[in-house]
């Protein structure tokens, strides 16, 4: 498949099928698997030199300044690079100002795509509705600082008011999509409304690698590995090709120059191979979100987000059944003590599981790993 493949957005812009992700993992300090902003500068520069022409970043990744430097130092004309950045949740009440701050950090006059990172506001903006934020986004169009506007982590539920009351159809919805979470119904919804699907964490995401000790179950999947062998490519390339052949762009992140290059060269999968991969999520225990903590984010649960938690055997339903092998694969990603009140863990409280707990109090960051039970977790 050509490395130069593009998709056309509803604005007429051409978006490279394979872009480059810049989320540094968590915590973004270069410790515990995360990369530093400086490492990110080098990664983005190397990615641009390797041929990437779409860079995906966000205010909350805290790398916009490093991304901006890499864009400049690459010497590639600005007009040849597609830059996406995102509005952070606490900024939902101040969209124009937040865009200005992102542009300043990026040292750019405009971004090609500006996304609402999550539908929910946070902090001072916690009561701002997705529609209110979208109406502010619409005002950006025409001021020459953004070429297109879109959303991320939206579902049919959170899209409803935007499509009903907004006057611009979002160009993109950036969501988690991979063979274990194919999001078929959501992609059909996007197609119906002319919204492009941009797949994040297309390789299973960094949380898997960071929190589960390099055991990325998706990259290790037997079917994916078998297909990769037959094409003499890596499982990662097969995963990316599957998404692109389904019409979604991908934004894999890699700090490794070889993987970075390989991710641009995708195999042409046959119909039968695509079908085998399409079927993967139907196997018991496979349908799951790999990139978002099970308790949701910024005070919104999966249900609030309108995510398809009850369709297919996902993490939540598995937790309720309390299967040991599946529970062992669970990780906990806890933002504060209030998150300990997770639902559906009743019968599993004494099951030993690996706990990777990242507690992030307001003023300090701390990280702890270990093996314990849910009871231990609740005692912390």
Positions marked catalytic: 61
Q: Which stretch binds ligand NAP (CB under 6 A): 15-23, 181-189, 321-329, 347-355?
A: 15-23
Q: Which is nearer to ligand NAP, 17 or 345 (CB)?
A: 17
DSSP state of 124: G
What size, in residues, is the chain? 380
Q: How many residues contact ligand NAP, by CB under 6 A?
A: 29
CA distance 315 to 289: 7
CA distance 314 to 122: 27
CA distance 170 to 152: 10
The token pair at 93 is: 């009440």
CB 199 within 8 A of CB 181: no
Inter-CA distances, 55 with 165, 241, 290, 348, Å: 31, 18, 22, 42
Least Å from the CB of residue 290 to ligand NAP: 8
Q: Which is nearer to ligand NAP, 241 or 348 (CB)?
A: 241
- The binding track of 224-263 with respect to ligand NAP, each residue x by CB under 6 A or -, is ----------x-x--------------xxxxxx--x--xx
Q: Which of 16, 21, 121, 306 binds ligand NAP (CB under 6 A)?
A: 21
Q: Which is nearer to ligand NAP, 74 or 153 (CB)?
A: 153
**243: CB partners within 8 A, 6+ apart:** 177, 178, 199, 202, 249, 250
CB 113 within 8 A of CB 140: no
Q: Which stretch binds ligand NAP (CB under 6 A): 20-28, 119-127, 266-274, 371-379?
A: 20-28
Residues 94-123 within binding reach of ligand NAP (CB under 6 A): 117
Least Å from the CB of residue 259 to ligand NAP: 4
Inter-CA distances, 266 with 59, 219, 293, 296, Å: 30, 15, 30, 32
- The binding track of 198-227 with respect to ligand NAP, each residue x by CB under 6 A or -, is --xxxxxxx--x---------x--------
Q: Which of 23, 52, 154, 180 binds ligand NAP (CB under 6 A)?
A: 23
Q: Which is nearer to ligand NAP, 151 or 357 (CB)?
A: 151
Write out the residues near ligand NAP by the rule CB under 6 A: 21-23, 56, 117, 152-153, 174, 200-206, 209, 219, 234, 236, 251-256, 259, 262-263, 291
């Amino acid at each position: 498949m050509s490395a130069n493949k593009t998709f056309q957005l509803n604005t007429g812009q051409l978006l490279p099928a394979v872009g480059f992700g810049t989320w540094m993992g968590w915590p973004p300090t270069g410790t515990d698997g995360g990369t530093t902003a400086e490492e990110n500068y080098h990664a983005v520069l190397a990615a641009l030199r390797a041929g990437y022409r779409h860079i995906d970043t966000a205010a909350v990744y805290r790398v916009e300044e490093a991304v901006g430097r890499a864009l400049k130092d690459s010497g590639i004309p600005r007009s040849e690079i597609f830059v996406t950045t995102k509005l952070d949740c606490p900024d939902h009440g101040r969209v124009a100002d937040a865009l200005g701050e992102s542009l300043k950090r990026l040292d750019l006059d405009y971004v090609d795509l500006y996304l609402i990172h999550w539908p929910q506001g946070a902090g001072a903006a916690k009561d701002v509705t997705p529609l209110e934020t979208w109406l502010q986004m619409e005002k950006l169009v025409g001021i020459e600082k953004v070429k297109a506007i879109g959303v991320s982590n939206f579902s049919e539920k959170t899209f409803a008011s935007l499509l009903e009351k907004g006057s611009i159809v979002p160009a993109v919805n950036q969501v988690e999509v991979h063979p274990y979470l194919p999001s078929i119904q959501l992609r059909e919804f996007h197609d119906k409304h002319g919204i492009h699907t941009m797949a994040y964490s297309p390789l299973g995401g960094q949380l898997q690698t960071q929190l589960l000790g390099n055991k990325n179950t998706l990259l290790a999947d037997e079917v994916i590995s078998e297909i990769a062998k037959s094409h003499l490519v890596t499982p990662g390339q097969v995963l990316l090709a599957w998404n692109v052949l389904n019409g979604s762009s991908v934004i894999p992140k890699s700090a490794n120059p070889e993987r970075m290059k390989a991710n641009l060269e995708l195999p042409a999968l046959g119909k039968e191979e695509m079908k085998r991969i399409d079927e993967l999520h139907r196997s018991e225990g496979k349908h799951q979100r790999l990139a978002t903590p099970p308790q949701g984010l910024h005070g919104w649960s999966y249900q609030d987000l309108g995510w398809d938690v009850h369709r297919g055997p996902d993490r939540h339903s598995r937790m309720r059944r309390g299967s040991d092998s599946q529970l062992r694969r669970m990780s906990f990603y806890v933002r504060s003590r209030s998150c300990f009140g997770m639902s559906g863990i009743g019968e599993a409280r004494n099951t030993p599981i690996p706990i990777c707990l990242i507690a992030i109090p307001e003023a300090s960051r701390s990280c702890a790993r270990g093996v314990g039970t849910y009871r231990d977790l609740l005692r912390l």
